[in-house]
Amino acid sequence: MNDRILGVLGGMGPLASAHFMVRLTELTPAGCDQDHIPAILWSDPRVPDRTAARLGHGPDPLPWLLRGIRGLKAAGCGAIAIPCNTAHGWYDGMAAEGVPILHIVEAAADAAAKVCPAGGTIGLMGTAATLAMRLYQDRLEARGWKTLVPDAREMAEKVSPGIALVKAGRVAEAYAPLAEVACSLAARGAGAVVLGCTEIPLGIKAGPWEKLGFPVIDTIDELARVAIAWARG
């Protein structure tokens, strides 16, 4: 282990960022405390809702995001992981602060390449804002994949309510609606499904997700793996 300190800009939502810290620990090959990654979690749930902001219904979260970035920078963090997909819609503004930000979409794309060859189709689940901003579609299509997203009814009746259930702490209840949409994308031809909101893996993995019959890309886990690789140089 070296002296690299990881910053984690969290609180969006609190359970997802807390789970990221758990997975960062669990995925790190370590035999004792000292083998683990020095990390500082800035968890501020007061950041305005990212989806509401992008859809024109709420205040800009960027000032709050920058406050966290600057706090982590002042604490000596050499890179920052953000376990919130939608927050990456403000990536350029945050990156302008000069601290490298480990991009969750690129982490997911690298993982997708291991289970779905270029030219195949990848299903995408995420907040309405993440999909509207094409955070995943543009990057994945540039790398040679086709992409599929839930239809408007699935978003309104299944995905958005499923995300809200996780944020409300009703994680087990989120499995059924979220798994239904993931299965719908697979049935439409997706060779893998990206869980592109950090609440979605919590809901999907609250049920028998191993029996779904197709690969799912857990963006919390993939961001944690990239963070571990960065920390180990």
Do 32 and 102 touch, CB atoms closer than 8 A?
no
User: What mean pLDDT do residues 127-148 have?
Assistant: 97
* pLDDT greater than 90 at residue 121: yes
Q: Catalytic residue among 32, 77, 183, 197, which?
A: 197
User: What mean pLDDT do residues 121-138 have?
Assistant: 98
User: What mean pLDDT do residues 18-37 have?
Assistant: 97
Q: Catalytic residue among 32, 77, 84, 183, which?
A: 84
Identify the CATH class of 6-103+221-231. Answer: alpha beta
Do the domains 105-218 and 6-103+221-231 match in fold? yes
Q: What is the predicted pLDDT for the residue at 218? A: 98
User: What mean pLDDT do residues 51-64 have?
Assistant: 95
pTM: 0.96
Which contacts (CB < 8 Å, 24+ apart) does range 211-217 have? 212/179, 212/182, 212/183, 212/186, 213/186, 214/182, 214/186, 214/190, 215/115, 215/116, 215/191, 216/182, 216/192, 217/108, 217/111, 217/112, 217/115, 217/192, 217/193
Angle between helices 14-27 and 160-167 (to 10 degrees): 80
**84 is annotated as an active-site residue:** yes
Residue reference for tokens 């893996």:
201
**197 is annotated as an active-site residue:** yes
Pick the CATH number of 105-218 from 3.40.950.10, 3.30.450.20, 3.40.50.1860, 3.40.50.300: 3.40.50.1860
For residue range 149-178, list pLDDT tens digits in order: 999 999 999 999 999 999 999 999 999 999
Annotated domain spans of the chain: 6-103+221-231, 105-218
Structure tokens, 127: 């907040």
